[in-house]
């Protein structure tokens, strides 16, 4: 083996390529973690999602270059497959609404305890895993404005008598409710 041979003594890829591919995979995993986190509210937390998606696009370019080097120079793609697998798993979790369903399952008991004696509150508080900005009594139920959304208010509402308006919010600022889980509804309130 000569000094200018790019492969290691075992014949595998150079250590710089391995380290760079592993670092890229870790950065992709962290970015995908932010994307999963941004889908925990009942409506996507858009600013964080948009930022993470932009970073993921940049990392995709780095991944492509590393993959081409690995394939053309070292005849290997094994480490290059980690990042796309992480992205595919993230896409599947988001598509199947796993982050929001898990967040709700972890928070349901705490939300129900507050909804049982719903009192108007404009204090920021954590209920379950949600950061709740406001709590509002609504008829026989309770509405929780959760941190997230871009411009519009979003959240969950416990409405045992049903939602007053199902569907997208109207232009006059009324709240549009979507069925979420039993007597629970997600909502968007137009700004």
Residues 173/153, Cβ–Cβ less than 8 Å: no
- Give 169-176 contacts, CB < 8 A, sequence gap 24+: 175/143
Residues constituting the chain: 191
Q: Which pTM was predicted?
A: 0.80
The DSSP output letter for 190 is -
Burial of 167 (0-12, 13-18, 19+ CB in 10 A): exposed
Domain ranges of the chain: 15-96, 106-189
C-alpha 157/C-alpha 145 separation (Å) is 8
Tens-of-pLDDT digits for all 191 residues of the chain?
444 444 444 567 888 988 999 999 999 999 999 999 999 988 788 889 999 999 999 999 999 999 998 888 888 878 889 999 999 999 999 999 999 999 999 999 999 999 999 999 888 999 999 999 999 998 889 999 998 777 778 899 999 988 877 777 665 567 888 889 999 999 888 77
Instruction: Give the helix/strand (H/E) hosting 182.
Output: none
Q: Please, which residues have CB within 8 angstroms of residue 60's CB and are 6 or more apart in sequence?
A: none
Q: What are phi and psi of 83, to 5 degrees?
A: -60, -45
């Amino acid at each position: 083996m000569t000094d200018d041979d790019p492969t290691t003594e075992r014949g595998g890829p150079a250590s710089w390529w391995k380290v760079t591919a592993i670092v890229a995979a870790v950065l992709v995993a962290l970015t995908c973690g932010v994307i999963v986190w941004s889908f925990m509210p009942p409506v996507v937390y858009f600013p964080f999602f948009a930022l993470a998606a932009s970073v993921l696009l940049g990392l995709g370019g780095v991944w492509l270059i590393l993959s081409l080097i690995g394939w053309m120079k070292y005849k290997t793609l094994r480490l290059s497959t980690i990042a796309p697998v992480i992205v595919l798993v993230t896409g599947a979790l988001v598509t199947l609404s796993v982050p929001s369903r898990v967040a709700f399952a972890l928070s349901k008991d705490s939300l129900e305890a507050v909804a049982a004696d719903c009192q108007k509150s404009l204090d920021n508080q954590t209920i379950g895993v949600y950061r709740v900005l406001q709590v509002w009594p609504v008829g026989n139920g309770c509405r929780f404005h959760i941190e997230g959304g871009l411009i519009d208010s979003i959240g969950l509402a416990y409405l045992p008598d049903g939602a007053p308006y199902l569907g997208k919010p109207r232009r006059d600022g009324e709240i549009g409710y979507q069925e979420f889980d039993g007597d629970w509804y997600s909502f968007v309130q137009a700004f």
